[in-house]
Amino acid sequence: MLVLLLFIMVLPFAEKAFATNTVIQVNEEATVFDNRSGSLVQVGTLSAGQTFEVTKDYGANWWQIRWGGYYGYVEKRYTTVVSAKNYKNTVPAVAKIKDYIVPTSVAPIYDNTGNKLVQFATLSEGVRFPIYNRMGNWYGIAVNGRLGYVHSNFVVEEKGQDTTNTNTNTNTNTTKPPVEKPTTTPHPPSKQNGYIEAVENVILYDFRREKAMAIATLMKGQQLEIVDSMDPTYVQVRWGKSYIYAEKSKVKIINTPSYKNVGKDNAMKNEYFIPISANSEIYDKATKALQPFAKLDTNRRYPILRKEGDWYVTVLGGREGYIHRSKIAIDRGVPVMMYHHLLKEHELGRFKNVSTTMTDVQFAKEMTYLKSKNYETISADELLRFMRNEITLPAYSIALTFDDGLLSTREYAYPVLKNNGFKATQFLITYRNENSNDGQIFNYNDLQALSRQDMTNMQDVFTYGSHTYNLHDLVGNKGKMLLIPYHEVVQDLQRSIAIIPKAKAFAYPFGQYNANIINAVKEVGFTMAFTTKVGYNNPYDDVYQIKRLSSNQQTTFEQFQKMVLPYAH
């Protein structure tokens, strides 16, 4: 909140013109804010992977873009400057505003210039936005000079008086119908309400990660409620607080379902189960005889609606499904492993039985186990998106982290991780890395830091976060970070980011922090922070207090196996 207030206070003075045609690419979904009220109000979002031209640069933290008849502001940390835009449908800004749309819920905005609709932004509920043109059931709107379409089911139309848009050029020819597009590029199709019935067993996919995830299989002849069918290839159904998709070619649209057990997807709690049996069907219990209608994946988490005796109830596509408690385990969240220093047994010396050191043999054995059980090592960014409930992750997901940026990770962790196809995050004390010589020879009697060259050479396995620039020290039992003025903490973290500018993750030295430290971490632009608190991580948990687990010389292999399970054994 402090950062946002500072933004509002300095906005009139921080403004400077930016080179025309500067284009940004959104790295992850970014919020668009309106500051005209004196506080920041969310008016929409920009989708990951999409490009937009900016109108002005507002210093270190903000871009200004056109947003309807005024301006919106986007945080730079979610973007990258790129050489060119990736869209075709450029339009002149609207010079005369007559009518508006007002979303009745979050309204997706689509680009229709390709073979399928692509969402590139959203409008927030209740935000008035001028209409550029109409096309059947769709409203065309000019989003920062880009033509987008919003379906009428998401909005209401509002008539208004002519208003000159000072955020435009002088083009007033806005009532002319759009040029008819070639038939090879379809117009946005109209939404079809109703239900789908599977004409064969059909897989339901989640597309929110880079790779499509199969969530469940709808059995032949079974039905689910449609949320939307605008895409020419897929039909959208609700799943918890998100959506999954069935191929249109494998379903038929019907008006009335034969099932009665309607469920409310949005009523889901923040509790999940994981199927642990190959017999993972969910049943319709509205009739006397149990009728399976979908099969769940044993490497997925499913939201729990409620528990009835020995049965757990979930909802898929607006339909309640029951699964027996003997077939599931209660999800406890994503484990994040914390490692530091690795040595061979004969090299331990003064590090024998030190909790932050383990042997290379033990580490290799743990990684081999994860590989044998098909664990997926997720990035810090994917963990962040999971905790924001923006994506789901396989049940057997794990994040691997290394604190202190030690050279022993080059010797003993990197080869093992690379051989297993694993990814991990290193938290660096960047002053030490900055002052380490390239090509240094490993000395197991010392604690050496990775050099910049080491970091570059290992970026196919490691991403890098911050462990401060030079605040990883204890004064008595207290971390130095807790004992210095706030502005000095911020300055140190800014120096750290200067060395690893892509860093979005931070780890608290010695696991010590307080509210001021969290604010400093947020202020300099970190989107998440890791603690040494023991536990697992779930959607809606605090992303600035991420819990971790550790393995050391005293950890048995059996203890490690139980530790990394996504559910209590």
pLDDT tens, residue order, the chain (569 aa): 444 444 443 443 333 333 457 899 999 888 898 887 666 788 899 998 999 999 888 777 889 898 877 788 998 888 999 988 888 888 765 445 568 899 988 889 998 887 778 899 999 888 889 888 888 888 888 898 888 899 988 888 887 644 434 333 333 332 222 322 333 333 333 344 689 999 999 999 999 898 899 999 999 999 999 988 777 899 999 998 788 999 999 999 999 999 988 888 767 778 999 999 999 999 998 877 888 999 999 999 999 999 999 999 999 999 999 999 999 999 999 999 999 999 999 999 999 999 999 999 999 999 999 999 999 999 999 999 999 988 999 999 999 999 999 999 999 999 999 999 999 999 999 999 999 999 999 999 999 999 999 999 999 999 999 999 999 999 999 999 999 999 999 999 999 999 999 999 999 999 999 999 999 999 999 999 999 999 999 999 999 999 999 999 999 999 999 999 999 86
Domain boundary among 107, 141, 164: 164
Answer yes or no: do 23 and 54 share one domain.
Answer: yes
Q: Rounded to whole angstroms, how far apart are CA atoms 537 and 167?
A: 44
Answer yes or no: do 399 and 343 share one domain.
Answer: yes
Answer yes or no: do 323 and 384 share one domain.
Answer: no
Q: Taken in order 218, 221, 225, 231, is the CA torsion positive or negative?
A: positive
Answer yes or no: do 362 and 483 share one domain.
Answer: yes
Q: Rounded to whole angstroms, how far apart are CA atoms 463 and 442?
A: 21
pLDDT at 94: 44
Structural domain of 156 = 2-164
pLDDT at 34: 85
Q: Rounded to whole angstroms, how far apart are CA atoms 340 and 337?
A: 10
Would residue 532 count as lying in a domain?
yes
Answer yes or no: do 344 and 199 share one domain.
Answer: no
Answer yes or no: do 28 and 70 share one domain.
Answer: yes
Beta strand 272-275 with 118-123: parallel, antiparallel or unpaired? Answer: unpaired
Domain boundary among 309, 329, 349: 329
Answer yes or no: do 543 and 473 share one domain.
Answer: yes
Answer yes or no: do 108 and 139 share one domain.
Answer: yes
Would residue 179 count as lying in a domain?
no
Would residue 174 count as lying in a domain?
no
Q: Rounded to whole angstroms, how far apart are CA atoms 209 and 219?
A: 25
Exposure of 252 in the CB half-sphere (CA atoms within 13 A): 9
Domain boundary among 329, 357, 392: 329
Would residue 266 count as lying in a domain?
yes
pLDDT at 39: 67
Q: Rounded to whole angstroms, how far apart are CA atoms 400 and 338?
A: 7
Q: How far is CA 547 from CA 38, 170, 334, 386, 507, in A?
A: 36, 55, 9, 14, 11
Q: Rounded to whole angstroms, how far apart are CA atoms 186 and 121?
A: 20
How many domains are there within the chain? 3
Would residue 28 count as lying in a domain?
yes
Give residue-wise pLDDT tens across range 409-440.
999 999 999 999 999 999 999 999 999 999 99
Q: Cα-flanking dihedrals φ and ψ of residue 297, to 5°?
A: -90, 135
CATH number of residue 541's parent domain: 3.20.20.370
Would residue 190 count as lying in a domain?
no
Would residue 186 count as lying in a domain?
no
Answer yes or no: do 536 and 443 share one domain.
Answer: yes
Answer yes or no: do 449 and 559 share one domain.
Answer: yes
Would residue 176 count as lying in a domain?
no
Answer yes or no: do 202 and 89 share one domain.
Answer: no
Give residue-wise pLDDT tens across range 3-47.
444 444 344 333 333 345 789 999 988 889 888 766 678 889 999
Answer yes or no: do 290 and 381 share one domain.
Answer: no
